[in-house]
Structure 1
Amino acid sequence: MDRALQDLIDKQAIREVVLTYCRGIDRLDFDLVRSAYHPDAIDHHTGFDGNIDEYIAWVTPKLSAIGGTMHHIGNHLVELHGDHAISEAYSMSTHWGGPEGIGMINFTSGARFIDHMERRNGRWAIKERWAVREWTRSDEGRFVNPEGPGPRGRRDASDPLTTLRSSLE
């Protein structure tokens, strides 16, 4: 295959790893989150350093206690180095809802996901991630109720995406 075409295919596969992680985190689908990492991967987040299983054990109760999150990926640059790659994806993530006393809630952060990606057996996944927090702002008192009835995001099997996917299987 032409090298330029293979590079595009590899870069798209790497971008999809990052987006898979975001969908998994936002939907509380931790199997999906896990699928973005190699089994021996390491993750570095604010307040956490460890392997993927430890990361999921750490983040699950934090995210399950709040109303929701939404991760947006912006600039995303991928540098290919054979079966290794550097992926730098800018992210803005909003966290909302939750009871008092669980720590900071209702905030938006700007961050970069700096990932050492590795291709193993033809599959790209995260080998090591640094979630580099650039800034955080409090959104306390800024959230408002929906203006009317309509589709709402859910973090369970009743989410519109899950419902659509089920109807097509």
Structure 2
Amino acid sequence: MRYCRGIDRLDFDLVRGAYHPDGIDHHTGFDGGVEEYIAWVRPKLELLGGTMHHIGNHLVELHGDLAISESYSTATHWGHPTGGDFTSGARYVDLMERRAGRWAIAERWAVREWTRSDEGRMITPEADGPRGRRDGADLVVELRSRLTAR
């Protein structure tokens, strides 16, 4: 969930924190370490108007300090300047490891199951109201600041 929030809000420290420092990621078009993954995905995400990841079924198999985690995901991507809005269905298959009491991703496979074009299907909001932010001023950040200032 930290990973999804980090990707959707462009909070790459949060993405980084979902992995161990030597964590490995396998995405469509990418294989490598977490720092290289962030360097690869960041400019792609910054071109977009937004992303929204939903996590569904989640199954974990514990094996001592190791675990296999499988999470179903639906992710929508919109607002690329040249088009290309799409939604994809995937599974995050993770090798999790507990090190010094902290569970994090040691290796992740983002297994793409399907992709659907959403080109021309997005519409503007029907009225004024709260909107998600990707610049560090999202409502969650504001609320956290309020509560920690108490």
TM tier, shorter chain?
Answer: over 0.9
Cα deviation digits, residues 94-139 of structure 1 (max 9, x gap): 0000211xxx721000000000000000000000000000000000
In the other structure, the counterpart of 1:39 is 21
Aligned ranges 1:109-124 → 2 under 5 Å: 109-124=88-103
In the other structure, the counterpart of 1:67 is 49
What letter is aligned with 1:111?
A
In the other structure, the counterpart of 1:58 is 40
Partner Cα separation in structure 2 for residue 149 and residue 118 of structure 1: 44
User: Which of 51, 59, 84 does residue 105 from structure 1 map onto?
Assistant: 84
Partner Cα separation in structure 2 for residue 31 and residue 105 of structure 1: 27
Partner Cα separation in structure 1 for residue 139 and residue 85 of structure 2: 24
Q: Does 1:48 align with 2:27?
A: no
User: Which of 76, 82, 92 does residue 94 from structure 1 map onto?
Assistant: 76
In the other structure, the counterpart of 2:12 is 30
Runs of 5+ unmatched residues, structure 1: 1-18
Cα deviation digits, residues 128-166 of structure 1 (max 9, x gap): 000000000000010000000000000012211111111
Partner Cα separation in structure 1 for residue 74 and residue 132 of structure 2: 18
In the other structure, the counterpart of 2:67 is 85
Contact 2:53 2:75 in 1 (8 A): yes
User: Which of 117, 121, 128 does residue 142 from structure 1 map onto?
Assistant: 121
Looking at secondary structure, tell me which structure has more strand per residue.
2
- What's the TM-score, normalizing by structure 2? 0.97
- What's the TM-score, normalizing by structure 1? 0.86
What letter is aligned with 2:123?
V
- Identity within the alignment, %: 74
Cα deviation digits, residues 45-75 of structure 1 (max 9, x gap): 0000000000000000000011000000000
2:134 is paired with a residue whose SS is: coil
Runs of 5+ unmatched residues, structure 2: none
Tell me how large the CA RMSD over aligned residues is: 0.8
Q: How many residues align?
A: 148
Contact 1:66 1:105 in 2 (8 A): no
In the other structure, the counterpart of 1:155 is 134
1:62 is paired with a residue whose SS is: helix
Cα deviation digits, residues 13-48 of structure 1 (max 9, x gap): xxxxxx000000000000000000001111000000
